[in-house]
A and B are shown apart, each in its own frame.
Chain A
Amino acid sequence: MSNVELLPLGPDGVLVRFADALSDPANRAALAFRAHIDAAEISGVVETATSLTSVFVRFRPDTTRRAVLEEALRGLLEGRDWAHAALPDGRKRWHIPAFFEGAAAPDLDAVAAQIGCDPDAAIVELCATPVRVLALGFAPGQPYLGFLPAAWNIPRRTEVTPEVPRGAVVVAVRQVIPFANPAPTGWWQIGQTAFRCYDPTAEPALPLRAGDEVQFQEVTATEWTRLQAAKRGGAEAEVLP
């Protein structure tokens, strides 16, 4: 990945962009490089964050200068193949229960038809695939999860759904998202979870971090009813080795 670019984003920000298009190597590079920056504890850096393919570094221009920071970042970039770097330590794997029937899955049949399998097989495949938090965005704590198998590279809908409920599990372009809030979307809703991307009653209130893994678990209608009141909607996490 030789075409890494350092670009200005506001007078107090540097964007380290690994690619213009989403790919697994570019996302892994962003996750690994952000962890590397954090570990380096560069003077004047006040915030780091990853998007799908970039790392954002916010600094205090009254503490350091852009030119100095960029030189430090170039130094950190050197000597490693970031596209093949190991993912950062301390990542978690989340098991998130979800219900994939009836009113919770209005678009499941349409999605299955595009994938070319029956609805049950689609859900089995979804739940068998560990996906990674590629980035958090759109709403606090809301993950873009990828990548699903190639057959799931289905386009967004041509018409926007005016509102899907909080917890809607939506898919498109090999990604899956549990929605943080009721919102309009052009993605396809195939399930629903009681897991909250932002839960002010839990600690931490924003449970997911970019790089974490997520695996959905199909639950029955009875379990789905019970999970409404469960802590974190029944989701559990383990630290990955």
Chain B
Amino acid sequence: MTLHIEQAGPLVSLQDAGRPGGLGSGLSRGGAADRHGYLDACALAGAPFGAAAIEMAGFGGRFRFTDRCRFALAGARMRATLDGAPLLWNASHWAEPGAVLSIGGAEDGVYGYLLPGHGVDADLELGGRGYHRIAGLGRALAAGDRLAIFPAADTAPVFLPDQSPATGPLRVMPGPQTELFDETTRARFEATPFTRSTRANRQGVRLDQTGAAFASGGQLSRVSDFIAEGDIQMTGDGTPYVLLADCQTMGGYPRIGTVIPADVPRLAQALPGDEIRFAFLSVEEAEALWQPDEAYLRAAAARCKPRLRDPREIDDLLSYELIGKPLDD
């Protein structure tokens, strides 16, 4: 079973749950930039944790199925059609042999996920299949690629009902260098409305603001040490830069705190110009909010509903008699 890539946006790549455990070897975990969106795709596909999905940043592409294949769409909503018929996002679907799936621009975020079958059957490299550019692992996908697919069980398509989007500030826990920033600076950090910059990639997201720089004490004298996904670095000019999945393992810029894993997907999916605010919580609160990926996946799978009756996908909705008319009207 093969998926042919007939056309691909510039930032399309295989991504999975990443390569955990490599910190001491200089390898950050990597994996899907929006871990929740990726796990939603796994749940919709009925695929195991760690299945390789196609991550599409900003724009998708055109894909042709050689065989009958179930596939899932999740993450940032993108305009999608199968042989010209519009498709529901956050849902799974069946493609017939020769069917062409077209995925356009992202509408409400950055990273969309296409998970064909039970995942792409690519060679494992250091325990993962994902493209990790700065680590030199894998590569971007491009037109002409032919991907082998693990077949999915023959089950009915499902969808994930919309949840009310999370709002409010991104939650930040203290890190090893939070104390380098004095109380006034930390308070100003929490009070400042930041803007998601146009400068962002899988390594991190830069944030803009109009006030004074966020300076720390002893900015240049510290030895490089471990950094983590979600860390908020203050770069040389005091501009915040939040690290994402493909960050380095060590860095020397002072970090004011760490966005908790539950909120990193919101940052990854923020669009240029979106307002970003932060609020500190305690280490204990952050620990209590920690959730293993497997638990998120189980919960997402439990929220999936059969798709057949979803009215949003019925093209000629108006021709249905939705409410019985009284005969004696």
Contact of B225 with A8 in the complex, beta carbons under 8 Å: no
Q: B308 near A: Cβ within 8 Å?
A: no
Q: B26 near A: Cβ within 8 Å?
A: yes
Q: B223 near A: Cβ within 8 Å?
A: yes
Q: B228 near A: Cβ within 8 Å?
A: yes
Contacts A11-B290, A17-B176; A51 near B135 (Cβ below 8 A): no
Category for how many chain A residues contact B? 35 or more
Nearest CB in chain A: distance from B178 CB, A: 9
Among the stretches B16-24, B208-216, B313-321, the one at the interface with A is B16-24
* Cross-chain pair count, CB within 8 angstroms: 124
Query: What secondary structure prevails in chain B residues at the interface with A?
Result: loop
Residues of the B chain whose Cβ atoms lie less than 8 Å from the Cβ of A138: 26, 248-250
CA distance A137 to B26 in the complex (A): 4
Residues of the B chain whose Cβ atoms lie less than 8 Å from the Cβ of A7: 175-176
Contacts A8-B283, A10-B261, A137-B250; A53 near B223 (Cβ below 8 A): yes
Contact of B292 with A51 in the complex, beta carbons under 8 Å: no
CA distance A11 to B261 in the complex (A): 8
Q: A210 near B: Cβ within 8 Å?
A: yes
CA distance A61 to B290 in the complex (A): 7
Q: B167 near A: Cβ within 8 Å?
A: no
A58 closest partner in B (C-beta): B23
Contacts A17-B176, A140-B27, A140-B126; A198 near B228 (Cβ below 8 A): no
A12 closest partner in B (C-beta): B290
CA distance A11 to B284 in the complex (A): 8
Residues of the A chain whose Cβ atoms lie less than 8 Å from the Cβ of B134: 139
B295 closest partner in A (C-beta): A62
CA distance A228 to B327 in the complex (A): 88
Category for how many chain B residues contact A? 35 or more
Contact of A200 with B125 in the complex, beta carbons under 8 Å: yes
CA distance A114 to B248 in the complex (A): 31
Contact of B226 with A198 in the complex, beta carbons under 8 Å: no
Contact of A8 with B175 in the complex, beta carbons under 8 Å: yes
| A-B pairs with lowest CB-CB distance, top 5 | A49-B24, A7-B176, A49-B23, A136-B26, A11-B290
| A residues with CB within 8 A of B | 5, 7-13, 15, 17, 19-22, 34, 46-54, 56, 58, 60-62, 65-66, 135-142, 180-181, 198, 200, 205-206, 210
| B residues with CB within 8 A of A | 20-27, 125-126, 134-137, 173-176, 218, 221-226, 228-230, 248-250, 258, 260-261, 283-284, 286-287, 289-290, 292
Q: With contacts A11-B260, A139-B134 known, what are 16 further pairs, Cβ within 8 A?
A: A7-B175, A8-B283, A8-B286, A9-B176, A9-B258, A10-B229, A10-B230, A11-B283, A34-B24, A49-B25, A51-B250, A56-B226, A135-B26, A138-B250, A141-B26, A180-B136
